[in-house]
């Protein structure tokens, strides 16, 4: 009986010690969490890119203050240097200030929620040399819990367990970025007219597919359904049936996905917008695809007429 009570007492003391250590470690984060280490090399590298990439890491101010059980790190500048070096190690480096793309990686969240748990959330925005966003990836969220392999680089700090789990969470978040998609923008010509015979096949490797078109369709009254279809006079591109876009007002920025299209034949292809609303006569407007690509815009106003 005495032996059992002794074991229970020792067990309770151990729990108290562990809890106390966890609290001490969390309270020591401000003094000891001084960097983040990316645990693995990138899984891919890129070569023969036409354009360079300038990487920016955006830290953010946490929405709440840190406590003994939750510590926020999203505003720490130590994310910047290792992230930029990680991107450069893939071959995504600066080339020319006048043509480089800009990659913005935003640290939305980097929280230590216990001694062995870290939550990280990042978002990505890629802009061309004209500061137009051409690709984004939002809400990359990673949560890691556990004790990861010891790292001799962490021994210089008296408290390094939470560093290890933060390292793992942040590394995993970077690995979720679609680097292939980002690199595809750096391979293609920026203007569709610079590659007049390159055909759209749906792989995202042509300037036509990277040309972002601003759509702005406004009827009066609002609440109409908008459809679009392709009408082609060339065998390379097939005409299509009406495809539903959205109920107005309709505003969007997106690329044209017209299979078989080249800049050379684009003057023989039209986009027809159709506006429909119950109780009103349907209307259509026609847009020359060559003009759309050059102006990077489809803008239409429909003044709807009631049916008699």
Measured at the CA of 167, the angle between CA 162 and CA 172, to 5 degrees, comes to 130
List, for residues 64-110, the tens digit of each pLDDT value. Answer: 776 666 788 899 999 999 999 999 999 999 998 888 999 999 999 99
Q: Is it the case that residue 233 has pLDDT exceeding 80?
A: yes
Counted residue by residue, the chain has a size of 308
Average pLDDT of the segment spanning 136-164 = 70
Neighbours of 294 (CB within 10 A): 15
User: Rounded distance, CA 223 to CA 247, Å?
Assistant: 6
Nearest to 52, CA basis, from 82, 83, 90, 81: 90
What confidence score (pLDDT) does residue 154 get?
53
pLDDT: which is higher, 161 or 251: 251
pLDDT attached to residue 212: 83
Percent of the chain with pLDDT over 70: 82
User: What is the C-alpha separation between 162 and 115, in angstroms, rounded?
Assistant: 5
**pLDDT tens-place string over residues 189-221:** 667 887 888 888 887 778 888 788 899 999 999
| E strand spans, 74-186 | 101-114, 117-127, 133-145
pLDDT tier at 14, thresholds 50, 70, 90: very low
Q: What is the pLDDT of residue 194?
A: 77
Inter-residue long-range contacts of 177-184, CB under 8 Å, 24+ positions, other chains counted? 177/105, 177/122, 177/124, 177/137, 177/140, 178/137, 179/42, 179/44, 179/46, 179/90, 179/92, 180/44, 181/135, 182/53, 182/92, 182/103, 182/124, 182/126, 182/135, 183/46, 183/49, 183/90, 183/92, 184/210
Q: Does residue 274 have a pLDDT over 90?
A: yes
Cα–Cα separations (whole angstroms), residue 23 to 30, 68, 308 = 13, 7, 76
Confidence band of 5 (pLDDT split at 50, 70, 90): very low
What confidence category does residue 25 fall into, taking pLDDT thresholds of 50, 70 and 90?
A: very low
Is residue 84 within 8 Å of 99, Cβ to Cβ? no
- For residue 49, pLDDT over 80 is answered with yes
Q: Which residue has the tokens 């003391």?
A: 13
Interior/surface letters 189-217, b for 16+ CB within 10 angstroms, e for the rest: bbebeebeebbbeeebebbbbbbbbebeb
CB-CB contact of 177 with 168 (8 Å): no
- pLDDT band for position 230 (cuts 50, 70, 90): very high
CA distances from 7 to 10, 14, 142, 278 (A): 5, 11, 39, 79
Task: Name the 3-class secondary structure at 62.
Answer: coil
User: What per-residue confidence (pLDDT) applies to 156?
Assistant: 52
Contact status, residue 78 vs residue 34, Cβ threshold 8 Å: yes
**Confidence (pLDDT) at 86:** 97
**Per-residue pLDDT band at 152 (split at 50, 70, 90):** low
- The pLDDT score that the predictor gives to residue 149 is 57
Secondary structure letter of residue 82 according to DSSP: H
Q: Output the pLDDT for position 114.
A: 74
User: What is the CA angle 146-150-153, rounded to 5?
Assistant: 130
What CA–CA distance (Å, rounded) separates 255 from 210? 6
Q: Is 41 exposed, middle or buried (0-12, 13-18, 19+ CB in 10 A)?
A: exposed
């Amino acid at each position: 009986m005495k032996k059992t009570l002794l074991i229970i007492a020792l067990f309770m003391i151990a729990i108290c010690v562990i809890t106390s250590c966890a609290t001490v470690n969390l309270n020591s984060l401000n003094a000891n969490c001084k960097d983040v280490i990316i645990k693995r090399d990138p899984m891919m590298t890129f070569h023969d890119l036409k354009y360079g990439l300038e990487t920016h890491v955006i830290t953010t101010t946490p929405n709440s203050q840190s406590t003994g059980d939750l510590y926020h790190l999203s505003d720490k500048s130590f994310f910047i240097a290792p992230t930029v070096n990680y991107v450069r190690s893939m071959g995504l480096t600066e080339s020319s200030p006048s043509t480089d793309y800009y990659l913005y990686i935003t640290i939305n969240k980097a929280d230590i929620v216990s001694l062995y748990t870290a939550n990280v959330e990042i978002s990505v925005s890629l802009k061309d040399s004209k500061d137009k966003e051409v690709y984004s990836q939002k809400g990359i969220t990673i949560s890691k819990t556990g004790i990861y392999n010891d790292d001799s680089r962490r021994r210089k700090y008296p408290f390094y367990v939470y560093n290890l789990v933060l390292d793992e969470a942040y590394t995993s978040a970077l690995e979720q970025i679609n680097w292939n998609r980002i690199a595809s923008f750096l391979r293609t010509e920026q203007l569709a007219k610079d590659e007049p015979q390159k055909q759209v096949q749906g792989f995202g490797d042509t300037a036509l597919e990277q040309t972002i078109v601003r759509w702005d369709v406004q009827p009066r009254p609002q609440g109409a359904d908008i459809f679009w279809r392709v009408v082609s006079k060339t065998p390379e591109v097939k005409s299509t049936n009406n495809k539903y876009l959205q109920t107005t007002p309709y505003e969007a920025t997106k690329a044209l996905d017209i299979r078989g299209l080249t800049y050379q034949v684009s003057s023989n292809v039209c986009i027809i917008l159709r506006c429909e609303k119950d109780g009103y006569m349907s209307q259509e407007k026609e847009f020359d695809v060559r003009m759309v690509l050059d102006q990077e815009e489809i803008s239409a106003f429909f003044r709807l007429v009631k049916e008699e």
